[in-house]
Structure 1
Amino acid sequence: MLLAACVSSQMPISPANDDVDAAPPPPTVAANGSSDEQAASCDLDAIQYAIGEPFDAAGFSQLKSDSGVQQVRVLRPGDMATMDHRPDRLNIHLDDQDGIEALRCG
C-alpha cells in the first residue's frame, strides 16, 4: 500500500501497456565475440597513407570516406577528449603544425 503512493499517476503500472516504448534490444554477439557495433568499425589500413601529411578540409573528407566511419574527431596537442569508445569514429591526431601524427579508431 505504501508503495502505491509513490507511483506517479502518469507512470504505467504494467510493462505490457502499449503506450510505453520498449528499450532497444542489446547488440547481438557472434560466436567469435564480435558485435553489431564492431561491424561498423573503421578501416585503418585503408588510410595509413595519410600519416605525415598536412591536414586540411579535403583530407578530412577523404579520410572519412576511405575509412568508412560515421564520425571523425580531430585532436590537436593538448585537446581534451572523452574516453568513450565508438568503433565507428575515426580520431585524427595532429601535431603542432597540423600534420597528421596518428590515426586511431574509437
Structure 2
Amino acid sequence: MTCQRGWQLAVLMFFPLFLAACAQTPGKGGEVPSAPPPPTVDNAQSSGDEAACRLDDIQYAVGMPLGDPSSDALARQGGAEQVRVLRPGEAATMDHRPGRLNIHLDDNDVIEELRCG
C-alpha cells in the first residue's frame, strides 16, 4: 500500500512542473511573441531555364486517342521539356513546372485536356 501511495505522491508533485513547462510565457511588457515570418522561396532553379510549353501548337490533339500523336511528338511540337500523362484517378504532384506538358486522358485514353505546368 505504501508503494502505491508513494507513486501517487510523485505524480502529484511533478504534474504542475509538466504543466508549467507547456505554458506559453509572454515577452517583455506582457506582449505575446508573434509567429516567425514565413519562409522565402528561392527561385534560382526556375530562373527562366525552362521555357513554357506552347499549347496553341498542339490543341488539335484534344479529342484524339493518345498514340495517334504520341506524347513525345506532342512535347516536341509544343516545345515542352517534360511530359506527364495523367489518367483519371491517378495521383499527381502539385509542383508547377512551366516546361512540362500535362496530358489529361479519359478512361479510354482519349486526350481530354492539355496543360502546361
Structure 2 partner of 1:46? 57
Alignment RMSD (CA, Å): 2.5
Out of 62, 71, 75, the residue aligned to residue 82 of structure 2 is 71
Q: Pick the aligned partner of 1:36 from 48, 51, 59.
A: 48
Q: Which residue matches 1:60?
A: 71
Tell me, what secondary structure is at the counterpart of 1:45?
A: coil
Residues paired across the two proteins, number: 76
> Structure 2 unaligned runs (5+)?
1-42
**2:72 counterpart SS class:** helix
Which structure's CA Rg is the greater one? 2
Identity across matched positions, percent: 57
Over 3 Å counting, the alpha-carbon distance change for 1:62 and 1:82 in structure 2 is same
Q: CA deviation at 1:65?
A: 0.7
**Alignment partner, residue 82 of structure 1:** 93
Asked whether the equivalents of residues 72 and 83 of structure 2 are also in contact (C-alpha less than 8 Å), the reply is no
TM-score, normalised with respect to structure 1: 0.64
How does the TM-score come out when normalised to structure 2?
Answer: 0.58
Structure with the higher helix share, 1 or 2: 2
